[in-house]
Structure 1
Amino acid sequence: MTRRRPLAIAIAIAAALGLAAPGRSAPAAQAPDLSGLHAFDLRVGKWKLHNRVLKARLAGSHEWLEYDGAQTWWSVLNGWGNVDDTRLDKPDGAYSGATLRAYDPKTGQWAIWWLDGRTPTAKLDPPLLGRFVGGVGTFYNDDTLRGKPIKVRFIWSKITRSSAHWEQAYSPDGGKTWETNWITDFTRVG
């Protein structure tokens, strides 16, 4: 009886870890996580946007620039991704950029890349990765600012047929504190 006990414990541990026990079939493949696949669907279309951007980031600034812009958003990759073309009408000159987003059903996460029209041949940064919980999407990556490492956070919220809200924040201390430095409110056109 004591010899059978370690085998029973090993089988229980293997089952808890999702491993096949001796003489049993392997566990079924995990179903894809599609919980956030449609989180951006309402963003498809044309939008006007209003930006509030902190003049100096992670510098103790409290002075904000405000300007408008326009955006067109498409679904791509058979619904597993989307792209936007954005024009930002900054006071010192307009510029454009494009965002690519792709959904990974293995992780249930979105990846977000930005291509800045002012530096179109620059290498794309690693994507921000994240997911939607309770209608709010939170995405993170690591970057540098003035040669120092920072964390970057995007938050998408209040996405409806007619409006949406986006915020960007930086953290100089590994995510302990955050400074919101860009806020955009979107209103559907037409």
Structure 2
Amino acid sequence: MKKHLILLITIFYHFSTYAQEEEASAAFDFWVGKWTLTWDEGNGSIGKATNNIVKILDDKVIQENFEILEGAQKGFKGTSISVYNPKTKQWHQAWADNQGSYFDFTGAIEGDKKIFKTRMIEKEGKKIIRRMVFYNIQKERMTWDWEGSEDGGKSWKLLWRINYKKVNE
């Protein structure tokens, strides 16, 4: 009887761990799809972009293709790849764009928010971190904020807010 109980506990633990890994590896699947994006440019005009998010490499990697179509930064393009590492139990994202920028992010989940943030760098006495925060996540829409901190993440300043709306195909 004791052997059966140990076997059942082992099986339950295995399936529980597997379910947690599956959930963690799917944490950013809400982002997959074609999106139209808008934001207030602060001068009475609205910026517009598209963002096409697909899963590649046996559905293990999320690839982003972003392009600004209207607004002050028209022509700006960027791409990222995001992947869950089951060994470290962390999400990672690498971003590059047509202006030569590159960011390396680590993912996290805080309540109902999905977050990618940079490592802290110290510059001129400031502890600088940048992060993107996905929230108000629904099937057809969500909000994305680009935030900055100069005190190591104690406080955050909104740098850019984008409203996502899914394109129905």
TM bin, normalised by shorter chain, reads: 0.7 to 0.9
TM-score, normalized by length of structure 2? 0.73
Q: CA deviation at 1:106?
A: 2.1
Q: CA deviation at 1:157?
A: 1.6
Question: For 1:145 and 1:52, how far apart are their aligned partners in 2?
Answer: 31
Is residue 2:108 matched to residue 1:131? yes
The change in CA–CA distance for 1:64 and 1:116 in structure 2 (over 3 A counts) is farther
Contact 1:67 1:90 survives alignment (8 Å): yes
Q: CA deviation at 1:138?
A: 2.2
Point out the structure with max Rg over C-alpha. Answer: 1
Which is richer in helix?
2
Contact 2:40 2:46 survives alignment (8 Å): yes
C-alpha offsets along residues 1-52 of structure 1, whole Å, 9 cap, x if unaligned?
xxxxxxxxxxxxxxxxxxxxxxxxxxx9xx5633321122232221100124
Is residue 2:129 matched to residue 1:151? yes
Contact 2:28 2:114 survives alignment (8 Å): no
Q: Which residue of 1 aligns with 2:49?
A: 69
Q: CA deviation at 1:172?
A: 0.8
TM-score, normalized by length of structure 1? 0.66
Is residue 2:163 matched to residue 1:185? yes
Query: Size of the alignment, in residue pairs?
Result: 149
Given the alignment, which residue of 63, 69, 90 partners 2:71? 90
* Structure 1: unaligned runs, 5 residues or longer: 1-27, 55-62
Q: CA deviation at 1:144?
A: 5.9
Percent identity between the aligned chains? 23
SS at match of 2:30: helix
* Structure 2: unaligned runs, 5 residues or longer: 1-13
C-alpha offsets along residues 44-99 of structure 1, whole Å, 9 cap, x if unaligned?
22110012468xxxxxxxx8974111111101132222111111133253221112
Is residue 2:138 matched to residue 1:160? yes
Q: CA deviation at 1:101?
A: 0.7
Question: For 1:43 and 1:35, how far apart are their aligned partners in 2?
Answer: 15
Given the alignment, which residue of 134, 151, 155 partners 1:173? 151
Question: For 1:94 and 1:146, how far apart are their aligned partners in 2?
Answer: 30
